[in-house]
Amino acid sequence: MRERVLVIVQNLPVPLDRRVWLECQALTAAGYSVSVICPKGPGDPARQEIDEVAIYKYRPAPEARGLGGFVIEFVYSWLRTAWLSLRVRRERGFDVIQACNPPDTYWLLARLWRLRGVTFVFDQHDLNPELYLSRFGEPTSIGGKVQYGGLRWLERMTYRTAARVISTNESYKKIAVTRGHRDPADVTVVRSGPDTRQMRPVYPPEDIRGEAEHLLVYLGIMGPQDGVDTVLEVIDELVHRRGRTGLRAALLGFGDCLDDLKAQCTRLGLDDVVTFTGRADKAMVADYLSAADVGLCPDRKTPLNDVSTMNKTMEYMAYALPSVAFDLVETRVSGGDTVLYVESGDVQAFADAVEKLLDDPDLRADLGIAARTRVADELDWRPQAERYVSVFDAVSGRKALPATGSESRSAGAGTSPAGRDFVDLTNEDEFRRFVIQRRR
């Protein structure tokens, strides 16, 4: 009988959540039966099966506003998830629950299912106490202290309930061990590296860049802690104060701040320069990251960002896209010496670094090629997938399947699932030419 895993996600639908989808694929490839409970995305059905993964979806809660709104969102999502877990148990069954935060609320559901012999694995994507500090600062009011204390309590209960903890990097593992009082042997680091077999440069459509000489790109969530307003400030500096012409920028993603960012863009007079794509699928991500000249990482140094792994950094690297980032501890772990770093919050220095890349095609090529090499050799998802699956082998008592041998890293010519031609990364001259020109 196949071991059965139920994955719970609240903040993003699946398969849009790239990390969770890679985890699901790793489990199915290892012989596990996988079910997922998550909110619906636009146009999503309530039930679907993709690549052997059964996905159960509920209508997301209304957009949260204020403390009361977040409480309503968490309670609503928890109840919908609990109800769907009964359905999954009846239709497919599960032996292990993996809950992905935020929020840190599903430990209670895990404890209820523990009465039926179900094991709980905590996949920690965010540090919610640090998220609070990053948004609101150290609490001084009674209400603030209660909220912050509540987040610490929820995190503590999640750590206590979990049989095993999965951390996205060593910084998160350190917190699980120190603040969470977990045995280091029970905490496994599984980085969110891209699958570089699929995430690799393609020849993009000409209309992505249009007539622009250079294209900048931002990829990711657009929340208060993500600093996307800084991207607009940098573009404003380059276009209106430094007189850069032939420049376009594409902002891929969505989030709580999207409408505010569009309004800011209009106020700055950048509507003819900046494109907001909204939610981006794999094909759109591949097209834009292949067409762009510079990737932007505007995450400022905060208690959360400094110790968090930014997926966008590694995704830029996978597409041989040089990038500029504020200097954060974990961003340096990902990017190494393939990224240009500037002091957090310094818009002028950020714009200087972007200009440096725009004006130096050889530097763009050197950094882009080095970034692609680093992410493929050191940060690829496949070794992480093995560590991830080993957690479930351990908690289920299943003997690990024998390794089938490492797959060859295809880097030659070929065609993507979306029908785009891959750039031949084994042809050094063509690869370098592409990274400079970003077109066929």
User: Across-strand partners of 247?
Assistant: 214
Domain boundary among 328, 345, 376: 376
Q: Do residues 290 and 330 both lie within one domain?
A: yes
First-residue to last-residue Cα distance in the chain: 50
In what helix (H) or strand (E) does residue 217 lie, and over which residues does it extend?
strand 214-219
404 part of a folded domain: no
pLDDT of residue 73: 87
272 contact partners, CB below 8 Å, separation of at least 6:
none
Q: Do residues 178 and 275 both lie within one domain?
A: no
Contact 414, 425 (CB under 8 A): no
Cβ neighbours of 237 (radius 10 Å): 18
Of 426, 429, 420, the closest CA to residue 289 belongs to 420
pLDDT of residue 410: 59
337 part of a folded domain: yes
Tell me which amino acid residue 110 is. Answer: A
Q: Do residues 95 and 108 both lie within one domain?
A: yes
- The residue whose two tokens read 């409408």 is 259
C-alpha to C-alpha distance for 390 and 388, rounded to whole angstroms:
5
Mean pLDDT, residues 272-291: 95
247 part of a folded domain: yes
Of 76, 60, 58, the closest CA to residue 68 belongs to 76
Of 320, 282, 287, 289, the closest CA to residue 207 belongs to 287
Q: Name the band, by pLDDT with cuts 50, 70 and 90, for residue 386.
A: very high
Q: Nearest 5°: phi and psi at 392?
A: -75, -30
Q: Name the band, by pLDDT with cuts 50, 70 and 90, for residue 418.
A: confident
For residues 107, 110, 112 and 113, what is the CA-based torsion angle, rounded to 10 degrees?
A: 180
Highest mean pLDDT among 61-70, 132-141, 368-377, 412-421: 368-377
Q: Name the band, by pLDDT with cuts 50, 70 and 90, for residue 402.
A: low
pLDDT of residue 1: 65
CA max distance for the chain: 66
Q: Do residues 372 and 386 both lie within one domain?
A: no
Q: Name the band, by pLDDT with cuts 50, 70 and 90, for residue 256.
A: confident
Preceding peptide of 205 cis, ω within 30°: no
Q: Do residues 213 and 157 both lie within one domain?
A: no
C-alpha to C-alpha distance for 219 and 315, rounded to whole angstroms:
9
423 part of a folded domain: no
Number of independent structural domains in the chain: 2
Over the stretch 147-187, which tens digit does the pLDDT of each residue have? 999 999 999 999 999 999 999 999 999 999 999 999 999 99
Residue 408 pLDDT exceeds 50: no
Please give the residue that has the higher pLDDT: either 266 or 402.
266
Q: Do residues 385 and 364 both lie within one domain?
A: no
Length in residues, the chain? 440
Q: What sections of 379-414 are H helices per DSSP?
A: 381-396
145 part of a folded domain: yes
Q: Do residues 386 and 358 both lie within one domain?
A: no
146 contact partners, CB below 8 Å, separation of at least 6:
none
For residues 277, 283, 286 and 288, what is the CA-based torsion angle, rounded to 10 degrees?
A: -30
Residue 374 pLDDT exceeds 90: yes
Mean pLDDT, residues 325-341: 97
Strands (E) located in 280-399: 294-297, 323-326, 340-342
pLDDT of residue 105: 95
Q: Do residues 344 and 384 both lie within one domain?
A: no
Report the mean per-residue pLDDT for the chain.
93
216, two tokens: 């900048």
Q: Burial level of 172, CB count in 10 A (0-12/13-18/19+)?
A: buried
Residue 406 pLDDT exceeds 60: no
Give percent of the chain with pLDDT exceeding 70: 96
Fill in the DSSP letter of residue 299: -
pLDDT of residue 411: 74
C-alpha to C-alpha distance for 238 and 195, rounded to whole angstroms:
34
In what helix (H) or strand (E) does residue 150 lie, and over which residues does it extend?
helix 142-161
Q: Nearest 5°: phi and psi at 38?
A: -160, 170
pLDDT of residue 293: 97
Please give the residue that has the higher pLDDT: either 255 or 1.
255
Contact 369, 435 (CB under 8 A): yes
| CATH number assigned to the domain comprising residue 311 | 3.40.50.2000
User: Across-strand partners of 189?
Assistant: 167
pLDDT of residue 347: 97
C-alpha to C-alpha distance for 280 and 254, rounded to whole angstroms:
9
Q: Name the band, by pLDDT with cuts 50, 70 and 90, for residue 404.
A: very low
Residue 63 pLDDT exceeds 80: no
Q: Do residues 298 and 354 both lie within one domain?
A: yes
Contact 323, 332 (CB under 8 A): no
pLDDT of residue 69: 73
pLDDT of residue 42: 87
Over the stretch 88-132, which tens digit does the pLDDT of each residue have? 999 999 999 999 999 999 999 999 999 999 999 999 999 999 999
158 contact partners, CB below 8 Å, separation of at least 6:
99, 101, 104, 106, 107, 122
Residue 213 pLDDT exceeds 60: yes
Q: Do residues 77 and 175 both lie within one domain?
A: yes
Mean pLDDT, residues 385-403: 86
Cβ neighbours of 114 (radius 10 Å): 15
In what helix (H) or strand (E) does residue 259 lie, and over which residues does it extend?
helix 258-267
Q: Do residues 223 and 181 both lie within one domain?
A: no
Contact 281, 258 (CB under 8 A): no
251 part of a folded domain: yes
132, two tokens: 């609070």
Domain that holds residue 88: 4-196+380-396
Query: The whole model's pTM is what?
Result: 0.89
Q: Do residues 235 and 142 both lie within one domain?
A: no
Residue 405 pLDDT exceeds 70: no
65, two tokens: 């506003």
Q: What sections of 60-105 are H helices per DSSP?
A: 66-91
